[in-house]
Amino acid sequence: MPLMADLRIGTSGYVYPHWRKGVFYPPGLPAKQELAYYAARFRTVELNNPFYRLPTREMFLRWRDSTPSDFHFAVKASRYITHIKRLHNVADEIALFRERAAMLGPKLGPVLFQLPPTQQIDTARLRDFLALLPPNQRWVVEFRHPSWHTSDTYSLLAERGVALCIPVGGRLEPDRLTTAPFTYIRMHRGQEPAGGFSREELRSWAAQVRALAATGKEVYVYFNNDWEGFALRDAVTFESLLGTDCSSRRADVQHPQDDWVLPGLITPPIR
């Protein structure tokens, strides 16, 4: 049965030295071509480096121009907003971030605010923060202290159409619910001994994603278990389960390599 909503599956970040030398990127591929190479295989990526330092307008433009027309960037917002100012009095910082990220144009996907694990619930602060977020953008909040996971928090998010991030395999397993027209899932660590996701885990999550898509929800899924290439392997397997394999995307991206699929990491389709 065809899926009713858009599903985008990718990885959290794409610049990893251990993905080079044939794990994903072919030996000798220039670093400046890695995003185009990645975008030939996946339809989305979660940008992590804006969390540490706000990129220039030129950097956002380079990201935009290195990817196909239907590619989406999820952007992890600055830790200055979430970890230093802890959501308080951040109107200017959000405005500056929006100005820069707007350079991505229609390729700008969800914006993720990841709170520090030490920040406990403060619904008044959350309400004031959410009021700063314009409704014409996909916004996501990842709460990392268990006190936040209450009906009051979920109601505040739902009122503004802001998505509750669903982290999988981390220290916190929150409620699996949606508070926006889209769902944002971060696959941090699987149950395999080294942190990969087992086939059984991926089957289970694929069933849940199908159910969400059947209701019309867009779904963004990012694998964050980058070590040993698990994120790549698991993202490819998850695409196969959902029937969203993007192997034919190469025609819209130019790069010098022909053997661009994941060497040694492709798993057979899971039935």
DSSP annotation string for 118-134: TPPP-HHHHHHHHTTS-
Nearest of 138, 182, 142, 179 to residue 158 by alpha carbon: 179
Asked whether 10 and 46 are in contact (CB, 8 A), the reply is yes
The two structure tokens encoding residue 102: 């707007």
pLDDT at 54 over 90: yes
Domain assignment of residue 79, yes or no = yes
Count of Cβ atoms closer than 10 Å to residue 68 Cβ: 16
Q: How many Å apart are CA 110 and CA 41, to the nearest integer?
A: 20
pLDDT at 259 over 70: no
Domain assignment of residue 271, yes or no = no
Asked whether 61 and 95 are in contact (CB, 8 A), the reply is no
**DSSP code of 219?**
E
pLDDT at 83 over 90: yes
Domain that holds residue 21: 7-252
Domain assignment of residue 122, yes or no = yes
Q: How many Å apart are CA 101 and CA 23, to the nearest integer?
A: 30
Asked whether 221 and 185 are in contact (CB, 8 A), the reply is yes
Q: How many Å apart are CA 129 and CA 198, to the nearest integer?
A: 38
Domain assignment of residue 16, yes or no = yes
pLDDT value of position 136: 93
Residues 193-238 pLDDT 10s = 999 999 999 999 999 999 999 999 999 999 999 998 999 999 999 9
- What is the chain's mean pLDDT, rounded? 89
Considering its fold, how many domains does the chain have in total? 1
Domain assignment of residue 186, yes or no = yes
DSSP 146-162: GGG-SHHHHHHHHHHTP
CATH number of the domain where residue 231 is located: 3.20.20.410
The two structure tokens encoding residue 112: 């993720």
Domain assignment of residue 220, yes or no = yes
**What SS3 state is found at 23?**
coil
Domain assignment of residue 270, yes or no = no
Domain assignment of residue 262, yes or no = no
pLDDT value of position 172: 77
Q: Which one is predicted more confidently, 106 or 244? A: 106
Strands 7-12 and 139-142: unpaired
